[in-house]
Structure 1
């Protein structure tokens, strides 16, 4: 029996310490939660686990044209999920590789590639640690995945990306903006589910908190889930950026800002956008 006192709850709901917990891989591989996330990935209208499929179609078409992807190209998608981008890009005949930490998503992506005759290489692993292979002409990281990492993790990732790119190769990714940060308010919401909710197949209470850290332009969503058997917490970090901030971070790790857009479909850059999409390049030696 999971018995919680007032003191316990007060401690559990305390202000989150930035980067004290990294629960991203745990979240995406939870046996129950990952079922819901895959359903959201595959829901054409949903923007929860990935962007809606109309946007994905527009984005993939723009990426193919912008980077001239062809049968001679090599592309790596970090955080590829169930293959929503990789399956679209593979139709060009390019050499496509996808890496994702979610076993459920990668299994689905492999099944769909085999079913549809798509030559995509999928790897189940944490892109912070696994070998990328390559080299690649283009590396993608879309849906603001870059923003959930700590400063140390981001620096490690950018160095790995630089090493895996061909000379003159591109890294295309998106980030949440300062404008997005300014629009968010701190909150505490309480959720109750009798059974079969997002967080657990059991009856549960969930305390959903958002914290802001103005000195870092950092958001943390902290989820505390209580069932009859256990208490667990998930922390989602979201670093928000100005263009100057991300330019500096790229340069510190050997990449150069090349182009900016308002989203991953290549819409014209506007500073007040909630997200920015960025092409960074590895300068030829």
Structure 2
């Protein structure tokens, strides 16, 4: 992309605005669909030790704990983690929440499963994204599985929208999108107008081709087992909104 683009992903995930505009999408019903998918496709019949990377406010971590799993959630947002801990207390589950940048986690062969849900990966330069995946490989026990849930690049390119507007109660979140296929990125000059206050929240997301992410994961010793196109376990296609990859540490 020509010119300097200042990414501010911390502003993007500022809890008040994020949850306000995404509330209709992040319902309890949708969360249960996603958790059911995780349990089904990772065969979580017996208790496992699970790492939820960039766990946000714990909507997956807390529910997985309800099924008897030992869960660790890591996120960089103190406010999100406070919300996650309050919900865990309400549900009477014990989840260990860690305030940390996922680029800096340092677990070693500790987990049966690592999950990264709802496009919570790909907001950094390629070297840092690779570092995160190296951290995943290091954190997993041999035979452990990694579930990586991303937006499907081919769907985005096929259905590209230069701008998207979400309106709620007279407030607006406006995404101005630019795709750079040479860098494999979508740049979003997001503007939020809420209660008469305008905030700019620019960010980019790395868009991986299936062959590319497969090559990267397998170069780190994470053998790709399956690609899915959604939480209904449908196969990945150019029509799929999601690209969900399950790999196993060899």
TM-score, structure 2 normalization: 0.84
Corresponding position: 1:275 with 2:242: yes
Q: Which residue pairs with 1:240 in the alignment?
A: 207
Instruction: State which structure, 1 or 2, has the greater radius of gyration over its C-alpha atoms.
Output: 1
Q: Which residue pairs with 1:153 in the alignment?
A: 128
Corresponding position: 1:37 with 2:4: no
Q: Is the 8 A contact 1:174 1:263 kept in 2?
A: no
Corresponding position: 1:118 with 2:93: yes
Gaps of 5+ in 1: 1-13, 200-206
Distance 1:184 1:118 in 2: 41
Matched position secondary structure for 1:145: coil
Match of 1:60 among 14, 24, 35: 35
Q: Deviations over 1:12-35 (max 9, x none)?
A: xx9554xx5342234434xxxx22
Q: Deviations over 1:93-118 (max 9, x none)?
A: 11111111221111011112122210
Aligned length: 247
- For the structure 1 residues 82 and 133, does the alpha-carbon distance in structure 2 shift closer, same or farther, using more than 3 Å as the test? farther
- For the structure 1 residues 208 and 269, does the alpha-carbon distance in structure 2 shift closer, same or farther, using more than 3 Å as the test? closer
Q: Which residue pairs with 1:21 in the alignment?
A: 6
Distance 2:109 2:52 in 1: 12
Corresponding position: 1:254 with 2:221: yes
Distance 2:116 2:106 in 1: 16
Gaps of 5+ in 2: none
Q: Deviations over 1:232-280 (max 9, x none)?
A: 7532212223211211221233322111111244233334212211101
Shift of 1:214: 2.4
Distance 2:105 2:76 in 1: 10
- For the structure 1 residues 133 and 80, does the alpha-carbon distance in structure 2 shift closer, same or farther, using more than 3 Å as the test? farther
Shift of 1:147: 3.0
Matched position secondary structure for 1:180: helix
Distance 2:96 2:108 in 1: 11
Q: Is the 8 A contact 2:75 2:100 kept in 1?
A: yes
TM-score, structure 1 normalization: 0.74
Matched position secondary structure for 1:146: coil
Distance 2:109 2:226 in 1: 23
Farther off after superposition, 62-71 or 98-107: 62-71
